[in-house]
Amino acid sequence: MNWLQRFAGRAKEPTEVEALDPALKQALGDFKSSVHAWSEAVYSQPRTVHLSVAHRTWRLAAGWAIAGVLLAGAVSGGVYEHHQRQEQARIAAREAAQQRQLAAQRARAEEDLLAKVDSDVSREVPSALEPLAQLMTEDATR
């Protein structure tokens, strides 16, 4: 039960007003009826509604502007990311080429070192000892 129902219920209940002076009772009844009549008149009279038109064109324009900025940001971010990946691929290819070049230089240096060691270690048989070398090969075949 809400407060309005409780208030209306109290107005219908017999109260101490009935025990009051009949003149005071009459004055309170007239006051009550005039308040009811006044509120009924106010609620039943036609009202004028002021139509306020809210111009929201700036909101629409601002919305489109923000959407454009967001779209441009997303597209430029994608382009920037693509450019960065291309640059990283170029750098990686350049480093790989340098690594291959260094590996080829090391391989050539090792081959040159091995060829030098081989030439330093191996000696030709001097011509004075050639007959002795032939005898040794003949003895090995015999």
Q: Does some domain include residue 111?
A: yes
Domain count of the fold of the chain: 1
pLDDT in tens, 75-129: 999 999 999 999 999 999 999 999 999 999 999 999 999 988 888 777 665 667 7
The answer to whether 84 and 77 have CB atoms below 8 angstroms apart is no
Q: Does some domain include residue 101?
A: yes
Using alpha carbons, list the distances in angstroms from residue 40 to 26, 36, 138, 141.
Answer: 21, 6, 147, 145
Which amino acid is located at 81 in the chain?
A: E
pTM: 0.40
Range of the domain at 107: 96-120
Q: Does some domain include residue 50?
A: no
The answer to whether 28 and 17 have CB atoms below 8 angstroms apart is yes
pLDDT in tens, 38-57: 999 888 888 888 777 777 78
Using alpha carbons, list the distances in angstroms from residue 50 to 32, 53, 64.
Answer: 33, 9, 31
